[in-house]
C-alpha cells in the first residue's frame, strides 16, 4: 500500500497525477460528488437553522468505503479536488466521511504539471470553511427555490415547469428581449459622408453644433443635399496623435465559451466538457499531460512563471521587441488571486505538433486557448492617428486615418475590431477641398438581435448573474426544460417559457429581479471572504420568499376553484371547461370526461383566466389541423405524397397513405430551421418543399457515392442522423455495425463489447426512469392520502 494517498475527482486526472508523483503515492478518484442533498425531498431542515440533510449519492457508497479503507492505511491523505467552491465542498464531504482529521490536508493546483503538483504537495493547507459555506449557501438557496416554487408551478402550468434561482432570471432576459423585438417599430434613417481628394472619407458629425449620427428627418437630408451641392470643405483642424492597441486578454470561462461558440460553433456545455479533458490530462507521446490551466475562472491574471514562459517563446520565435511589457491584474475584488486565466500549461506544446494525440474537438479548442494566450503576451500594436476636422457653414465633418508604426500583436493576429490603416495624405489646415462626392446612404433601423449561447453568457456575466461554473448548466437547463428553442443558433422563448416567466415575475419579484440576483452573488462572495454568515444569509432570503409563497398558494387555490369556460364546444354543443393537469392546460367536457383537448402550445393570458372566459377556438382548430398534417408538394420516387406533421421530437414527413405504406422520414435540419422561422412558402395551403428536398437528397446521394462500400463487408453505406448530426452507416446492419464520419472519413466498427455496454447503459437508464416514475406515483398517492385524511378530520 502506498504511504501517501491523493484523492481527486476523475480517473483521467488521477492517472495524470499518479505518473507525476511516482510510486510513493496512490492517486484515486471519487468520480465527482459523493455526498449531496437527497433527490426525492428538499433535504433542508428550515426550522433548525437550515440544517442540510446530506446523503451519500446512490452508487457512491462503495467508492466512499474504499476511500475510507485506503485513508486508514495511508500516512497522509491529500484532497486534490478542483480549486473552486464546488471542489472545496467535495473535499469537505470526503474528509467528514473518512474521519482522519490528523492525516487530511487540502491541496490545490491551477494546472496539472510536475511543478504545480509538487508545489501543492509541499504547501498543503486546511479545508477552507468559508469556501465550503459559500458553496453550501448557493446549493441550499438553489434547492429552496427549486423545491418550494416548482411544485406550485406544476399546479397551474404543467409538470415540466420549474423555477431556478439563476435560470429563471436568464429566461426573463430572453423573454424581455423577445418582447423588445416584437414591439420594435423600424425607422428610416440617413447617414451622410463626404469624399475629398478622391479617397478621403469624412463623416458628418454635427449640424449647427448639434451632434449627428443618423438623421431621421428627410427634410434635413433634402436641405443638406441642396446646401452642399457643388460645395467644398475647409480643413479646420488636422492633428496627429500617437496611439496603441493592446492585445486581447487571456481567456476566462465566459470569454472562452463565447469565442468557442463564435469561432468553433461549440455550445457552452461542450466547450466545458472538452476543456475539462484538456485540463485533466491526455496521453501525449506516451506520457499523460495536463494541457491547460483550470477552466472555471473569472480571472485574467497570469503567473510570473507563465509570463516568463511566454516571453522566452516570443523572443525565440519573433524577437524580443514583440514581448509585451505588462502584467494583467484582476479588476474584480471577488476574484481569488490564486486563480489564473485559462492558458496552456506548456507553451512549447504547440497545437499542430501534438494534433495527432488529440481528437479534432480537443485540437480545435486547445488551439483556440493556445493562440489566445500567445497573442495576449505580445507587445501592443502602435500607430499614429491623423484626425481631420472639416467644415462648411453649419456642417461639421470628421475622419481619421491610421498608420501603423509597430505591428506588435498584429504580426500574428487581427480580430474583427482590426484598425484600418493606410498612409497619411498631404493635408494642411485652412486648405479648401471640393467635395468629390456626397454620400447619402439610406437605411432602416433593425430590431435587437436575439441571444446566442455566446451573447447570453456575455449578458449574464455583465449583469453579475451566475459564476463561471454555472453558465453552461444555465444554458442546458433552459434547453432541456423546453423554455427556449434554438433557431439558427439563436434563443427563441417557447409558450412554456413565457408562461413560467410570467407566473414567476407576477409572484416572485425578488427572484426575477436581475439586480437582486446579482446582489445575491455578491453576498455569496462575502460568505467566501468570511464577512457574511451563511446561515443568516439563508434566513434573510427565506423570510422574504416565504411571504411570496404563501400569497401564491392562496392565488393558486382561487384559480383551481374558478370555473373557466371556453368558446370551444363539446360534441353535445356545450362550452368546454379549461383545466390544468400534469401535462399542462386542457379543455374538458363537463358531461363527458373522456372528451379532452390539449392546449399545449396555445398562449392564454392571465387576464382571460381572471375573467373566467378564454377564446381559443381558432388556435385549437389550427392545432388539430396540424395534427392531421400540412400538405406539401413533395412526392417520393414511387409517387407517394407527403404531409408535414409535428411530433414529440419536432417536425417530420409522413406519407398521405401512411396506414397502408407506413412511410415516414425526418425533415432535414435545414428545412426544419426554415419552417420554424416561417421561411417556407405556402401556396393554397400546400408547403413548397419539393425543390429543397430534392437538392438535399442529391447532396446525400453524392456523399454515399463518394463513401463507396463498407470496408468490412462490402455493402453500400446509407446516411443516418444521430445525436451529433449525420453519419454513414453500413446497410449490412445488424450483422455489420460499421459507421463512417462524413467529414473525416474515419471508419469505426462497433464491437460486441461496445454494443453490450450500450445495452447495459440503456437498461440502467430504463430502470432509473421506471424507478423515478414509481417514486412519483407513490408521492402522488401520499399527497392524495393526506388530502383525504385532512378532509375527514374536518
Q: Which residues are catalytic?
A: 294
Beta strands in 38-129 (DSSP E): 44-45, 51-52, 55-56, 76-79, 104-106
Question: Within 13 Å and on the Cβ side, how many CA atoms surround 114?
Answer: 6
- Could you tell me which of 673, 668, 676, 720 has the C-alpha nearest to residue 692? 668
The closest of 376, 653, 606, 632 to 502, measured between CA atoms, is 606
Distance CA 719, CA 669 (A): 14
DSSP state of 264: I
Q: Which of 431, 291, 421 is nearest to 363 (CA)?
A: 291
Rounded CA separation 67/51 (Å): 26
Using DSSP bridges, classify how beta strands 484-487 and 490-493 pair: parallel, antiparallel or unpaired.
antiparallel
Largest CA distance in the chain: 98
Q: At a CB cut-off of 8 Å and minimum separation 6, what does 24 contact? A: 2, 3, 4
- For residue 321, what is the DSSP state? G
Determine contact, residues 47/100, Cβ cutoff 8 Å: no
3-class secondary-structure state, position 656? coil
Distance from the Cα of residue 462 to its chain's centroid: 15
**476, 209 contact by CB (below 8 A):** no
Q: Where are the beta strands (DSSP E) in 545-649?
A: 565-569, 575-581, 584-588, 596-598, 613-614, 630-635, 641-647
Three-state secondary structure call for residue 746: coil
Using CB atoms within 10 A of its CB, is residue 733 exposed (0-12), middle (13-18) or buried (19+)?
middle
Please tell me the distance from the alpha carbon of residue 682 to that of residue 676, in angstroms, as a whole number: 13
- Element (DSSP H or E) covering residue 718: strand 717-722
C-alpha cell at 361: 474537438
DSSP category for residue 715: P
- Quickly count: other Cβ atoms within 10 Å of residue 761's Cβ: 10
Q: What is the rounded CA–CA span in Å between residue 579 and residue 572?
A: 19
* CB-based burial, 326-354: b 16+ in 10 Å, e otherwise: eebebeeeebbeebbbbbbbbbebebeeb
Amino acid at each position: 500500500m502506498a504511504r501517501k494517498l491523493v484523492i481527486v475527482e476523475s480517473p483521467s486526472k488521477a492517472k495524470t497525477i499518479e505518473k507525476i508523483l511516482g510510486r510513493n503515492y496512490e492517486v484515486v478518484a471519487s468520480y465527482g460528488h459523493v455526498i449531496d442533498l437527497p433527490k426525492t425531498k428538499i433535504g433542508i431542515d428550515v426550522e433548525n437553522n437550515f440544517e442540510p440533510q446530506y446523503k451519500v449519492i446512490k452508487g457512491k457508497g462503495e467508492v466512499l468505503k474504499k476511500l475510507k479503507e485506503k485513508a486508514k492505511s495511508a500516512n497522509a491523505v491529500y484532497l486534490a479536488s478542483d480549486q473552486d467552491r464546488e471542489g472545496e465542498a467535495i473535499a469537505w464531504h470526503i474528509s467528514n466521511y473518512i474521519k482522519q482529521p490528523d492525516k487530511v490536508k487540502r491541496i490545490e493546483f491551477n494546472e496539472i504539471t510536475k511543478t504545480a503538483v509538487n508545489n501543492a504537495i509541499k504547501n498543503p493547507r486546511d479545508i477552507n470553511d468559508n469556501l465550503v459555506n459559500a458553496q453550501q449557501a448557493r446549493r441550499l438557496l438553489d434547492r429552496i427555490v427549486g423545491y418550494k416554487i416548482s411544485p406550485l408551478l406544476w399546479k397551474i402550468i404543467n409538470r415540466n415547469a420549474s423555477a431556478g434561482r439563476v435560470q429563471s432570471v436568464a429566461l426573463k432576459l430572453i423573454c424581455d428581449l423577445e418582447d423588445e423585438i416584437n414591439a420594435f417599430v423600424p425607422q428610416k434613417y440617413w447617414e451622410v459622408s463626404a469624399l475629398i481628394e478622391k479617397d478621403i472619407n469624412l463623416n458628418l458629425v454635427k449640424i449647427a453644433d448639434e451632434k449627428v449620427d443618423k438623421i431621421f428627418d428627410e427634410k434635413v437630408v433634402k436641405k443638406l443635399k441642396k446646401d452642399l451641392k457643388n460645395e467644398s470643405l475647409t480643413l479646420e483642424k488636422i492633428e496627429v496623435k500617437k496611439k496603441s492597441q493592446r492585445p486581447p486578454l487571456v481567456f476566462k470561462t465566459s470569454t472562452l465559451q463565447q469565442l468557442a461558440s463564435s469561432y468553433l460553433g461549440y455550445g457552452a456545455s461542450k466547450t466545458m466538457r472538452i476543456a475539462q479533458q484538456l485540463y485533466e490530462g491526455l496521453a501525449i507521446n506516451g506520457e499523460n499531460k495536463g494541457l491547460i490551466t483550470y477552466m472555471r475562472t473569472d480571472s485574467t491574471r497570469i503567473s510570473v512563471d507563465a509570463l516568463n514562459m511566454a516571453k522566452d517563446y516570443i523572443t525565440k520565435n519573433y524577437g524580443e521587441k514583440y514581448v509585451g511589457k505588462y502584467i494583467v491584474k484582476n479588476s474584480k475584488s471577488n476574484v481569488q488571486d490564486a486563480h489564473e486565466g485559462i492558458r496552456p500549461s506548456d507553451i512549447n506544446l504547440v497545437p499542430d505538433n501534438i494534433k495527432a494525440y488529440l481528437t479534432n474537438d480537443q485540437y480545435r479548442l486547445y488551439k483556440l486557448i493556445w493562440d489566445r494566450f500567445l497573442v495576449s503576451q505580445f507587445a501592443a500594436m502602435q500607430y499614429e492617428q491623423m484626425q481631420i476636422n472639416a467644415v462648411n457653414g453649419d456642417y461639421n465633418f470628421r475622419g481619421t486615418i491610421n498608420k501603423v508604426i509597430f505591428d506588435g500583436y498584429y504580426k500574428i493576429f487581427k480580430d474583427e475590431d482590426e484598425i484600418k490603416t493606410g498612409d497619411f495624405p498631404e493635408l494642411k489646415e485652412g486648405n479648401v477641398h471640393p467635395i468629390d462626392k456626397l454620400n447619402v446612404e439610406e437605411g432602416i433601423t433593425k430590431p435587437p438581435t436575439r441571444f446566442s449561447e455566446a451573447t447570453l453568457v456575455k449578458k449574464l456575466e455583465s449583469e453579475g448573474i451566475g459564476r463561471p461554473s454555472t453558465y453552461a448548466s444555465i444554458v442546458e437547463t433552459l434547453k432541456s426544460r423546453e423554455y427556449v428553442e434554438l433557431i439558427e443558433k439563436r434563443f427563441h422563448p417557447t409558450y412554456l417559457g413565457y408562461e413560467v416567466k410570467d407566473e414567476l415575475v407576477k409572484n416572485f419579484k425578488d427572484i426575477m429581479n436581475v439586480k437582486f440576483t446579482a446582489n445575491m452573488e455578491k453576498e455569496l462572495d462575502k460568505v467566501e471572504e468570511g464577512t457574511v454568515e451563511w446561515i443568516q444569509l439563508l434566513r434573510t432570503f427565506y423570510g422574504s420568499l416565504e411571504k411570496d409563497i404563501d400569497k401564491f398558494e392562496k392565488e393558486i387555490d382561487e384559480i383551481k376553484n374558478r370555473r373557466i369556460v371556453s368558446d370551444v364546444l363539446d360534441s353535445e354543443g356545450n362550452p368546454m371547461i379549461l383545466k390544468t393537469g400534469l401535462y399542462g392546460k386542457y379543455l374538458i367536457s363537463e358531461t363527458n370526461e373522456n372528451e379532452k383537448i390539449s392546449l399545449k402550445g396555445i398562449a392564454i393570458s392571465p387576464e382571460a383566466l381572471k375573467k373566467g372566459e378564454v377564446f381559443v377556438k381558432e388556435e385549437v382548430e389550427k392545432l388539430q389541423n396540424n395534427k392531421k398534417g400540412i400538405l406539401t408538394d413533395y412526392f417520393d420516387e414511387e409517387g407517394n405524397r407527403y404531409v408535414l406533421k409535428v411530433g414529440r421530437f419536432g417536425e417530420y414527413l409522413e406519407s398521405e397513405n401512411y396506414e397502408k405504406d407506413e412511410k415516414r422520414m425526418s425533415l432535414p435540419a435545414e428545412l426544419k430551421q426554415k419552417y420554424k422561422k416561417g421561411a417556407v412558402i405556402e401556396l393554397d395551403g400546400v408547403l413548397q418543399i419539393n425543390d429543397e428536398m430534392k437538392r438535399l437528397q442529391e447532396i446525400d446521394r453524392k456523399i454515399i457515392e463518394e463513401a463507396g462500400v463498407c470496408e468490412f463487408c462490402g455493402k453500400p453505406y446509407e446516411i443516418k442522423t444521430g445525436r451529433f448530426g449525420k453519419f454513414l452507416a453500413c446497410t449490412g446492419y445488424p450483422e455489420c455495425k460499421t459507421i463512417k464520419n462524413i467529414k473525416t472519413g474515419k471508419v469505426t466498427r462497433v464491437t460486441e463489447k461496445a454494443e453490450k455496454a450500450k445495452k447495459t447503459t440503456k437498461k440502467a437508464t430504463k430502470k432509473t426512469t421506471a424507478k423515478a416514475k414509481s417514486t412519483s406515483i407513490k408521492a402522488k398517492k401520499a399527497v392524495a392520502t393526506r388530502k383525504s385524511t385532512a378532509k375527514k378530520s374536518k
